[in-house]
Structures are given as structure tokens and as C-alpha cells.
Amino acid sequence: MRFLAGLLFGGLAVALLAQRPTAKIVPPQIVVDNQKVKVERWVLQPDEQSPVHTHSLDHVYVVIHGSEVREHFPDGRTSDDNQETGRAAFSPARGKTHSFENVGTTPYEMIAIELKESK
């Protein structure tokens, strides 16, 4: 029982570490969600951050308006990246858990398209 409690508390601690307490958490706008795709529009002002989330599906993202973005990982690591306007990339599903924060001086906007498996 103590082991289970430690696991549950550890998971909560990991989730809390991945978000900076002073950043405003902003969820995405769901544009489309059907059997084939889920399309999310992310708009983060400077000092705003996404909620912690896990990628379980392949996805494509396109940066509509770039800014400096800091990615936060559950183990406390961070990674900064200049997400330039027009960037497009494919990201395979890896069960990646993270959040990202606009640490730049301009708004950040990105469209993410999750590709659902055919049934």
C-alpha cells in the first residue's frame, strides 16, 4: 500500500514540476474532432503556458506566428526553441508528456493536427 501511495504522489509531483507556477495555463481551442483527426489551435501570449499533456497519436504541427518557446518535461528538464513562423513538422506518437511556454515577447500561435487511427 505504501508503494502505491508513493507512486500516486510521485505522479502528482511529476505533473506539478512540469508547469511553472507563475505562468497562466491556457488550453487549446479544439477546431475539429472527428473519427479521422483532431485539430487544436494553440495561442499563447508571453508568459502563458499549455497544460501538461501526453501525445498518444502521430501529429503534424504548423507554427502560424512564431516566438521563443520553452518545453517543460516531467523530470524538470526544459528545452528552449525559437519556433519560427511557417515551421511545419511531423511528430510520431511516443507517449511524450510535456507542456510548453511562450517565453518570447510576441504571441505564439500553432495548429496541431492529431492523426487518428482508421477503424
- Give tens-digit pLDDT for 24-73: 999 999 999 999 999 999 999 999 999 999 999 999 999 999 999 999 99
Give the span between the Cα atoms of 38 and 45, in whole angstroms.
23
| CA-based nearest residue to 51, from 11, 90, 10, 19 | 19
| DSSP-based three-state secondary structure for 112 | strand
**pLDDT surpasses 60 at 4:** no
- Give tens-digit pLDDT for 62-106: 999 999 999 999 999 999 999 999 999 999 988 889 999 999 999
Q: Which domain holds residue 53?
A: 2-115
Gap between the terminal Cα atoms of the chain: 39
pTM of the entire structure?
0.80
User: 61 and 98 in contact (C-beta within 8 Å)?
Assistant: no
CATH number for the domain that contains residue 16: 2.60.120.10
Give how many domains the chain has, as a whole number: 1
